[in-house]
Structure 1
Amino acid sequence: MTTLQHRRIHLLFRLAVAAVLTLGAARVILDNLRNNYSILEWTISRRYSIRVPIEVSVDEEIEEGCDVFQGRWIWENATYPLYTEQSCPFLVKQTTCTRNGRLDSFYQNWRWQPHACDLPRFDGLKLMEMLRDKRLMFVGDSVQRSMFESMICLVDSALPRVVRRSLQRIPPRKVFRVEEFNASIEYYWAPFLVESISDHATNHTVMKRSVKLDSVAKHSKEWEGAHVLIFESYIWWMYKPTINATYGSLDDVQEYNVTTAYRSAMETWANWVDSRVNRETQKIFFATMSPTHLWSWEWKHGTEGNCFNETHPIEGPYWGTGSNLDIMGIVEDVLGRVKVNVTVLNITQLSEYRKDGHASIFGERKGKLLTKEQRSDPKNFADCIHWCLPGVPDTWNEILYALLLQDYRDQSII
């Protein structure tokens, strides 16, 4: 072996040793960085496990006498929407209209502006602090489920990534937990509030509906442990002018006028509220009906369409046939006689203006997206009941948040 070969071997050996040492040093550095990052993650996570008093600024207060449900929709594309379809992993296909093919996104950029005051900007961290060690539960049908999904998207978008959150499906409930706050936001399927043959979480579409007007016992076992409850029940009652129901004996099935049955069901629910709700630890809301937009002639005379292809809200006074005045009157009457304080979320009028916000042909029917043929027939297949997300239900939650913040400031239950 020549001297030159010896030198080359020696040089390669030195390079190999240097490479091993470099890789080793790099691994040590990376391990230290990983450990330091884990410590940083733990430190940040730990920070949110400690109760922190919430400061409510003057700008966040609702001025006395302001009716937050009276106002107008204002176009704002700078700060709205508050989250996106892409950023929220919890949305179902029924609400992801853009992902399902809707080309315009105007419906995402309208902000509700009350006439006499401003709504505070939604702050998910403040809400979670208010809900620390508590359960907030939405109760109702699929429209109410959209409000639940909207709320968890609003919260999720505000939480740092290191804060642990999860979504569990525990039929008939969905539970969104945030570990550091020991809090949950939940949804409970009960389309009639009282018991019915449509109470199964997934297999509930029955043509001949029947309700048990005198009982909420099966449902209320879940409700009683929640600290904030938001109830809603409307569209499932509107399938036909009459409904089969029992009151007392399960063998005595009678056909009731829907408004008569609705009043009886509401009174049963109200009796539960008065007898079982703990005024010291629970806060009750009731959301009024979510309107439908099935007939375009109601807002544009001479047309024969529906909510399909609508891109802007209705301006000026409007009340369509999608909102039943008799039902609205029953809600007002029954809640007016409840002894426990129930806060009304009067979402109906502000939602009446939003003919543009529905899923239309960009949602689901019976668990499946519409086919190309069905989408070409919006007159028969457009969904003018459910809402796209982000969209109108976000505003319902902004108002709910504002009212909870007001309660917190006033040192009420929340």
Structure 2
Amino acid sequence: MTLHAMEAPSGRSHGQPKTTKFVLILIFVTLVFLTIIPVFYPLLGYPLYLLKASSPKPSPTTVYDDSPEPELRSSIKISQGEECDIFSGEWVPNRAAPYYTNTTCWAIHEHQNCMKYGRPDSEFMKWKWKPDGCELPVLNPAQFLEIVRGKSLAFVGDSVGRNQMQSLICLLSRVEYPIDVSYTSDERFKRWKYTTYNFTVAYFWTPHLVKSGERDDDGPTQTGLFNLYLDEFDERWTTQIEEFDYLIISGGHWFYRPSVFYENHQIVGCHFCLIENVTDLTKFYGYRKAFRTAFRAINSLENFKGITILRTFAPPHFENGLWNKGGNCVRTKPFRSNETTLEGDNMEFYMIQIEEFKIAEREGRKKGKRYRLMDTTQASLLRPDGHPSRYGHWAHENVTLYNDCVHWCLPGPIDTWNDFLLQMLKMEGVRSHQERLYSGDRRMRFK
């Protein structure tokens, strides 16, 4: 390629070396730009911290402005003139925490009651989440209850979902305790009511989100072998949620267990079932199909007018062995964001959720359904210190519990998930106000 100097108006050539250098730099920058755009294109529309792991200087504006699904945005206004991605950040010390204890809140599940069972350190309770570029307020219980006055909230999922519900009850206990208004004595399906605020919170146990049942209580890993009917609704929750204003759906950890997959009433494969002539499709196949069916169930409910919130996968933190091979979580402080990264199974679970969420949100929008994303994955990934480990029971007890690096101590990092929730509820108020203004403006213009 021949590079010619630019000519001045008089026809004489000036500054050829400097101009040539400028043109070379321009060509190089253009080539680099054309090279990296295809690399980042598949990630456009995904949370910012995933791009941080791939690029030292991501562009949040480009990422979010190119997102095809506006509802996927996790950028939430914290105060007037301030906006940031509340789900991307770091943990910072917070001497004011905790805001309740295991002696002031009765709602803590025994296996997450770490202080009761002798956890020797307490620093894991004294951190708060600091988003990049703004502050996330700690949950104000009176404000929360006022916002949800006359409304209802359902947690749908496994015991980590129950973990968050119990955290919420404890955080709100500074204002009021709820009364049990459950329809059944089954602890897997609970309802609590805050009578002063006419606010109901419920929990629906559905570890696989779809219809499932235990096939063998032993199984290849001695944790049971399950039949998963991947195209069938779990009616224990799908027939109960139409009345709720908010639905928080989550799941993941039960898909590690051996399972046989059914579709159209036929076995189509399995995950580590070790059954002759049954193809191992991996846990990810079952996970994707289960979320797809769960979202299809929600979109099929004509009378459900609430908001569906997907709470993203919270990675476990087993080190020095698998969960059933002596793995444990003994760290006593958070990671910094540059000390770990989302990868392997955790990344795969997370991406499946995001992809299925986008499909469901797009289909639901046609029917007037509303979806929101509570992206707890990065904040959770950075907290290897927040799990019960062996402090979910007395040391002398003859129990067969493994070290718990899946659930979260209460008080603990999971309380921040409810800080996220309050901020999202505030944002819904802003959305409603803007929609009313827009609707009023349209009526005025069309008169």
Sort the TM-score into its range (normalised by shorter chain). 0.7 to 0.9
Partner of 1:46: none
Secondary structure of the residue aligned to 2:406 is strand
1:138 touches 1:145 (CA, 8 Å); kept in 2?
A: yes
1:307 touches 1:382 (CA, 8 Å); kept in 2?
A: yes
With normalisation by structure 1, the TM-score equals 0.72
Partner of 1:185: 201
In 2, Cα distance between equivalents of 1:132 and 1:213: 36
2:318 touches 2:329 (CA, 8 Å); kept in 1?
A: no
The aligned runs of 1:10-409 (5 Å cut-off) are 61=79, 65-77=83-95, 79-159=96-176, 165-168=178-181, 170=184, 171=186, 172-197=188-213, 207-218=224-235, 219-240=237-258, 243-249=259-265, 252=267, 254-255=269-270, 256-276=281-301, 281-295=305-319, 307-317=328-338, 318-319=340-341, 323-338=345-360, 339=362, 340=364, 341-364=370-393, 369=394, 371=396, 381-409=402-430
Letter in 2 for 1:132: R
The superposition leaves residues 202-234 of structure 1 with CA deviations (integer Å, 9 ceiling, x where unpaired) of: xxx961111111122512011222110000010
In 2, Cα distance between equivalents of 1:348 and 1:244: 28
The superposition leaves residues 288-334 of structure 1 with CA deviations (integer Å, 9 ceiling, x where unpaired) of: 11111111599xxxxx9854432111123212668522222211211
In 1, Cα distance between equivalents of 2:161 and 2:89: 22
1:288 touches 1:328 (CA, 8 Å); kept in 2?
A: yes
The superposition leaves residues 306-363 of structure 1 with CA deviations (integer Å, 9 ceiling, x where unpaired) of: 5443211112321266852222221121111223332111111111111110000101
In 1, Cα distance between equivalents of 2:383 and 2:81: 26
In 2, Cα distance between equivalents of 1:206 and 1:136: 31
Query: CA 1:346–1:73 in 2, change beyond 3 Å: closer, same or farther?
Result: same
In 1, Cα distance between equivalents of 2:372 and 2:406: 24
1:94 touches 1:363 (CA, 8 Å); kept in 2?
A: yes
In 2, Cα distance between equivalents of 1:104 and 1:62: 39
Moved over 6 A (4+): none
Letter in 2 for 1:179: T
In 2, Cα distance between equivalents of 1:194 and 1:96: 30
Query: CA 1:277–1:287 in 2, change beyond 3 Å: closer, same or farther?
Result: farther
In 2, Cα distance between equivalents of 1:370 and 1:197: 33
Query: CA 1:312–1:63 in 2, change beyond 3 Å: closer, same or farther?
Result: farther
How far residue 184 of structure 1 moved from its aligned partner, in angstroms, is 0.8
In 1, Cα distance between equivalents of 2:286 and 2:197: 41
Secondary structure of the residue aligned to 2:110 is coil
With normalisation by structure 2, the TM-score equals 0.67
1:69 touches 1:346 (CA, 8 Å); kept in 2?
A: yes
Letter in 1 for 2:292: E
Query: CA 1:273–1:261 in 2, change beyond 3 Å: closer, same or farther?
Result: same
Query: CA 1:147–1:198 in 2, change beyond 3 Å: closer, same or farther?
Result: farther
Query: CA 1:360–1:62 in 2, change beyond 3 Å: closer, same or farther?
Result: farther
Letter in 2 for 1:273: I
The superposition leaves residues 155-182 of structure 1 with CA deviations (integer Å, 9 ceiling, x where unpaired) of: 11233xxxx7313553331112111222
How far residue 266 of structure 1 moved from its aligned partner, in angstroms, is 1.4
In 1, Cα distance between equivalents of 2:228 and 2:416: 31
* Count of residue pairs the alignment pairs up: 329
